[in-house]
Amino acid sequence: MNNRNLIGACRLSENQASPAAIMPMKTYDSGRTARSRGCLFLGGCHVVRVALFLAAAFCVAIPAAVGEEQAKGWICLFNGSDMEGWTPKFAGHPAGENLDEIFRVEDDMLRVIYDPEAHPEWEGRFGHLFFKHEFSHYLLRFEYRITGSTLSGSPAWAFRNSGVVIHGQPPETMARDQDFPTGIEVQLLGGDGENPRTTANVCTHGTHVHYRGELDKRHCINSKSKTYHGDDWIEVEIEVRGHRVIRHKIDGETVLEYERPVLTDETEIERRGHAELDSGTISVQAKGHPVDFRRIRLKPLPVSD
């Protein structure tokens, strides 16, 4: 779709969320939109800033509905062809440097791959790939599978371990040697073939959450999911309602729910101006074990729900 076709189409449809569900970043590309597997790719529609309560807003290019998911308001964050709209950040390296092409696109998948020739040892290469916009109220749906072997020298806990960080800080605000962005990690694990090991857990980085009505200061809280051995694709959905509640779902079943995430990192509290964690970036992780993602899509939700 060219820019001419976007004229007059940069708007929110009647069925979409209020603009406050999607938060503006500092800069945007003036690129394109693309259709990918039945939903709209959130590409380069120019941003229109609109005051709505306390939130600034932008609109998304919504042409005629294409596919069932797009008709229901789903937006593709990953277009299946390249990493347009995504920024890598590796510990020890500046934002924008895709270290040894660990993040790459192959066969409609967003892959985390460690080439043994380029990476004979782990050497602390924690990485995150950030989508360029921030969000507050939304459904995030994606499929993942964990394959291959853990890179030599990786932490023992990195075995068949990946994740997606929500409500995160932007990559340009991270310290050069920072391993993880401040935010909430939806931890994605694979089984070892024998022992139980839940997935879609929550791990906190410079944050805490309220769980079962109480502030829970544990680093990780396990879900009630079953164990997924092997390398089958698993569909995960994250329901994010700002600061109010977050739910993790697998195959439509809620496996974990928690509320009122708060910041504990003083630098991030100062940057945001408050401790309530109600919005932020979305990023996928590279922790030392190969993992594939596909069909990463998002549906904005009304702030009032």
pLDDT at 41 over 80: no
Structural tokens at position 249 = 């779902």
Q: What's the pLDDT tens digit per position in 213-259?
A: 999 999 999 999 999 999 999 999 999 999 999 999 999 999 999 99
Is residue 218 domain-resident?
yes
pLDDT recorded at residue 20? 45
Among the listed residues 64, 54, 77, 53, the one whose alpha carbon sits nearest the alpha carbon of residue 13: 64
Q: What's the pLDDT tens digit per position in 73-103?
A: 999 999 999 999 999 999 999 999 999 999 9
Is residue 273 domain-resident?
yes
Burial of 86 (0-12, 13-18, 19+ CB in 10 A): buried
Domain count, the chain: 1
Angstrom distance (rounded) from CA 170 to CA 249 = 25
For residue 270, the number of C-alpha atoms closer than 13 Å in the C-beta half-sphere is 4
pLDDT recorded at residue 269? 97
Is residue 67 domain-resident?
no
Tell me the pLDDT of the chain averaged across its residues: 82
pLDDT recorded at residue 64? 41
Q: What's the pLDDT tens digit per position in 12-31?
A: 333 344 444 655 443 323 23
Please indicate whether residue 48 or residue 20 has the higher confidence score (pLDDT): 20
Angstrom distance (rounded) from CA 180 to CA 206 = 9
pLDDT recorded at residue 125? 86
pLDDT recorded at residue 154? 85
Please indicate whether residue 61 or residue 157 has the higher confidence score (pLDDT): 157
pLDDT recorded at residue 13? 33
pLDDT recorded at residue 23? 57
Q: What's the pLDDT tens digit per position in 145-192?
A: 999 888 888 888 888 999 999 999 999 999 999 999 999 999 999 999
Is residue 37 domain-resident?
no
pLDDT recorded at residue 67? 61
Is residue 43 domain-resident?
no
Is residue 254 domain-resident?
yes
pLDDT recorded at residue 71? 67
pLDDT at 141 over 80: yes
- CATH of residue 251's domain is 2.60.120.560
pLDDT at 298 over 60: yes
pLDDT at 113 over 80: yes
The set of residues, in sequence order, having a beta carbon less than 8 Å from that of 203 and lying 6+ positions away, is 163, 184, 185, 187, 219, 220, 221
Overall size of the chain counted in residues: 305
Domain span at residue 236 reads: 86-300
Is residue 74 domain-resident?
no
Among the listed residues 89, 130, 58, the one whose alpha carbon sits nearest the alpha carbon of residue 296: 130
Is residue 76 domain-resident?
no
Classify residue 10 by its DSSP letter.
B
Angstrom distance (rounded) from CA 67 to CA 264 = 42
Query: Listing from the earlier edge strand, what are the strands of the sheet with 281-286?
Result: 86-90, 127-131, 281-286, 161-168, 183-189, 201-205, 220-221
